[in-house]
Amino acid sequence: MRSLNATRKSSIRRPVLWRLILLQCLVLLVASLLSVLFWPEWVKSLLLAGLISVLAQSFWIWRSLRGFGDPKSGAYLAGAAAGMLGKWVIIFVGLLLLWRSELDISVAVTVVTVFGLNTLTAIAAPILISQPH
């Protein structure tokens, strides 16, 4: 049994949140290839919405990990909350700008892409983050 002091001195390993970005990029790549083959008119919508999702997820990861390791966990929780808020602001503003500037974009495809990629990472996060690196 380890003593309390030994536990405090050992560092906590950072979660490997970057795996979520890799998963999103891999799924986006596969979806884009399928779209090129079967639904070429949706490729642009899919790629642009996917890039907005990846950018938003990257922002959340960056903000969350800035305070990681704070002994009182306040900075981590504040960073994660600010990151999540920023993530959804990036998604909403990004989609609105995309829909206003690109008239040939499918709103349905962009919404499904953003929802799908974010749901996928939420489901996969406990599995991907807990794996040793």
Q: What is the pLDDT of residues 110-119, one digit of tens each?
A: 999 999 999 9
**pLDDT value at 70 more than 80:** no
Lowest mean pLDDT among 27-36, 49-58, 68-77, 79-88: 68-77
Domain region containing 69: 27-130
Token pair of 104 as six digits:
């040939």
Q: What is the pLDDT of residue 15?
A: 65
Q: What are the tens digits of pLDDT across the range 28-49?
A: 999 999 999 999 999 999 999 9
Q: What is the pLDDT of residue 51?
A: 95
Q: Is 105 helix (H, G, I), strand (E, B) or coil?
A: coil
User: Any alpha helices (H) in 39-106, and if so which ranges?
Assistant: 43-66, 74-101
Whether residue 56 lies inside any domain: the answer is: yes
Whether residue 104 lies inside any domain: the answer is: yes
**In terms of Cα–Cα distance, which of 20, 46, 24, 18 is closest to 108?**
46
Whether residue 100 lies inside any domain: the answer is: yes
Helix (H) or strand (E) holding 121: helix 107-130
Q: Specify the pTM.
A: 0.77
Whether residue 39 lies inside any domain: the answer is: yes
Tokens 């079967």 belong to which residue?
38
Contact 33, 60 (CB under 8 A): no
**pLDDT value at 63 more than 90:** no
Read off the pLDDT of each residue in 11-38 and give the average, rounded to a whole number.
Answer: 85
Mean model confidence pLDDT for the chain: 83
Q: What is the pLDDT of residue 17?
A: 77
Contact 17, 129 (CB under 8 A): yes
Whether residue 81 lies inside any domain: the answer is: yes
Tokens 């406990």 belong to which residue?
126
Q: Is residue 39 packed enough to be buried (19+ CB in 10 Å), middle (13-18) or exposed (0-12)?
A: middle
Whether residue 6 lies inside any domain: the answer is: no
Q: What is the pLDDT of residue 126?
A: 80
Task: Give the total number of structural domains in the chain.
Answer: 1
